[in-house]
Amino acid sequence: MQKKEQSQSKTVFIRTYGCQMNVYDSERMAGILKPLGYEAANSADDADLVILNTCHIREKAAEKVYSELGRLKKLKIAKEKQGGAMTLAVAGCVAQAEGHEIVVRAPQVDMVFGPQAYHRLPEMLARSARARGDVLETDFAVNEKFDRLGEMRRADGPSAFLTIQEGCDKFCTFCVVPYTRGSEVSRPVEAITAEARSLARQGVKEITLLGQNVNAWASAPPSECDGLKILDNDDGSWGLGQLCRHLAKIGGIERIRFTTSHPRDMDDGLIRALGDEEKLMPYLHLPVQSGSDTILQAMNRGHTGEAYKALIAKIRAARSDIAISGDFIVGFPGETSEDFEATMALVNDVDYASAYSFKYSRRPGTPGSVMAHQVGEDEKNQRLALLQALLESQKQAFNARQKGRVLSVLLEKDGRHAGQLIGRSPYLQSVHVNAAQSMIGSIASVRIVGVTPNALTGELLKEDEAVA
Ligand code: SAH
Ligand code: SF4
Ligand code: F3S
């Protein structure tokens, strides 16, 4: 009886907010739902199940969820009037942080579940169908999630995310992540290797290893040793550098990336790997948040501006062409104009290839939200504009320096124009190039001939020219 119900074709629409971890989780949810008969819908309008995979990092991100829920409520009522039905679910970090509040504020929602409960989706759907509503799952059991998700996974294109670590123990005073994702948990090498192999078999060329603090990843060496004898950690466990070397041996995997790293966990083993493991791409996202030591301390970052710059110098000594990216917050409580100037000075010293910058947003429950001397909105806007102008000019200069170079580009998908493909350079820049569609999934040598604000344009190299 239940079997018959499960095999009927239904549709699901998943809207993803926030970071790459959520993108990965949404893919996995779609994968879990597929055997239950759920096909992807193009929009919420024609879906039987709508899942909002939410982000709680800044106030705006959380607000978006409630306004989307208002819109979906109307849709759900209209469907019910016509004799149809729609199951509405809220997943992700808002669900984890505000589970009970969502149930109260948005009674049209049938299911609320946090990031560690996705593997229980089939069971929750069955419960929701029986009870019509009120399924709330917000426990932490990361390893159970990893175990139950297994290695089965359908790849979508030549580049794929792979979560290797979840959670954060750093407790930066502005941030909700330690509360929404729990403490740091690393996935074992065997499970990561199995997922990477499965992706490679499906034609994936590039994997991006994900974690809230991906470089805090540590695990016991695999039971089947692959001959890698360089130990990163004194206790004999493996660090991220060694994991990357191990994954680089998988046939078909040509490129490895990882994000997001914390300066405090950037160990020598990983820096060495960035220097000599050819499959590790020369791009590092290493958020600093501020250049002022007073603010860094108030943020509980655990490093100074000088320590961060020294780390960058060490990384550049290992890999001179590495593209450095970062995150910044302006207007943290107590930030004076001198503190802000220190951030501008650090940016000038480091010279970023790309960056994300945000106005400080007060998050309920975090120490920063109740600190004295909150910075006014006008001040935040002015500082953000100045910082973004500087970061943008550095990004444009970095892109302009690629002109004339030959870069290896992983061709990922069709471009906007006929005959055009879009790929990624080793430095994660978008590259537009005229090439046959059959080349999607290959890594081509491309001469960079032009630079537009958000992409490079290039030409396929004739076979007899060498890659620079
Ligand atoms: N784990 C990663 C990223 C966390 S969230 C790391 O530690 O780097 C991504 C970025 O959002 C952060 O780096 C920070 O710049 C920004 N962010 C986090 N909380 C914020 C807040 N309350 N207000 C504004 N920006 C915030
Ligand atoms: Fe948030 Fe800090 Fe952890 Fe990053 S390191 S997730 S900013 S608490
Ligand atoms: Fe947002 Fe949660 Fe990611 S708060 S940034 S979706 S970890």
- H/E element holding 451? strand 443-452
For a substitution probing ligand 1, which of 209, 214, 264, 329 has the most ligand atoms within 8 Å of its CB?
329
Least distant ligand from the CA of 95: 3
Whole-number Å distance, alpha carbon 360 to ligand 3 midpoint, is 15
pLDDT number for residue 155: 72
As given in the structure block, the two tokens for residue 229 are 């004898």
* Cα distance between residue 133 and residue 237, in whole Å: 45
For a substitution probing ligand 1, which of 20, 21, 55, 57 has the most ligand atoms within 8 Å of its CB?
57
For a substitution probing ligand 2, which of 56, 57, 171, 175 has the most ligand atoms within 8 Å of its CB?
175
* Cα distance between residue 359 and residue 341, in whole Å: 16
Strand partners, 39: 11
pLDDT number for residue 123: 87
Nearest 5°: the CA angle 234, 217, 116 is 145
CA distances from 347 to 65, 260, 285, 299, 326 (A): 33, 19, 14, 18, 10
Torsion of CA 256, 259, 262, 268, to 10 degrees: 0
* Cα distance between residue 327 and residue 290, in whole Å: 9
The finding on whether 114 has its CB within 6 A of some atom of ligand 3 is no
Any idea where the domains of the chain sit in the sequence? 2-139, 143-400, 406-460
At 154 the three-state DSSP class reads coil
The finding on whether 259 has its CB within 6 A of some atom of ligand 1 is no
Whole-number Å distance, alpha carbon 278 to ligand 3 midpoint, is 31
pLDDT number for residue 232: 56
User: What b/e sequence results for 205-243 when a residue is b if at least 16 CB atoms lie within 10 Å of its CB, and e otherwise?
Assistant: bbbbbbbbbbbbbbbebbeeeeeeeeebeeeebbbbbbb
pLDDT number for residue 127: 82
Residue 65: which of 73, 55, 76 has the closest Cα?
Answer: 55
* Cα distance between residue 410 and residue 427, in whole Å: 11
DSSP 326-361: EEEEE--TT--HHHHHHHHHHHHHH--SEEEEEE--
CATH of domain 2-139: 3.40.50.12160
Q: Which DSSP category does 38 fall into?
A: E
* Cα distance between residue 15 and residue 186, in whole Å: 27
CA distances from 307 to 15, 291, 310, 314 (A): 39, 11, 5, 11
pLDDT number for residue 267: 94
Instruction: Give the CATH superfamily of 406-460.
Output: Nucleic acid-binding proteins (2.40.50.140)
pLDDT number for residue 144: 65
As given in the structure block, the two tokens for residue 124 are 């929750």
Please report, in tens digits, the pLDDT of each residue of the chain (468 residues total): 344 444 468 999 999 999 999 999 999 999 999 988 999 999 999 899 999 999 999 999 989 999 999 999 999 999 999 888 999 999 999 999 998 899 888 889 999 999 988 888 888 888 877 765 556 666 666 666 666 555 456 677 999 999 999 999 999 999 999 999 999 999 999 999 999 999 999 999 999 999 999 999 999 888 765 555 555 556 678 999 999 999 999 999 999 999 999 999 999 999 999 999 999 999 999 999 999 999 999 999 999 999 999 999 999 999 999 999 999 999 999 999 999 999 999 999 999 999 999 999 999 999 999 999 999 999 999 999 999 999 999 999 999 999 999 999 999 999 999 999 999 999 999 999 999 999 999 999 999 999 998 999 999 997 645 554
CA distances from 26 to 62, 98, 149, 156, 381 (A): 17, 19, 12, 13, 33
The finding on whether 92 has its CB within 6 A of some atom of ligand 3 is yes
pLDDT number for residue 7: 47
Edge-to-edge strand ranges of the sheet holding 206-210: 159-163, 206-210, 255-259
Whole-number Å distance, alpha carbon 234 to ligand 3 midpoint, is 32
CB atoms within 10 A of CB 101: 12
Least distant ligand from the CA of 380: 1
Q: What is the pTM of this model?
A: 0.91
The answer as to CATH 3.80.30.20 being correct for domain 143-400 is yes
User: Which protein residues touch ligand 2 with a CB less than 6 Å away?
Assistant: 168, 170-172, 175, 177-178, 212-213, 262
User: What b/e sequence results for 127-139 when a residue is b if at least 16 CB atoms lie within 10 Å of its CB, and e otherwise?
Assistant: bbeeeeeebbbbe
CB atoms within 10 A of CB 176: 25
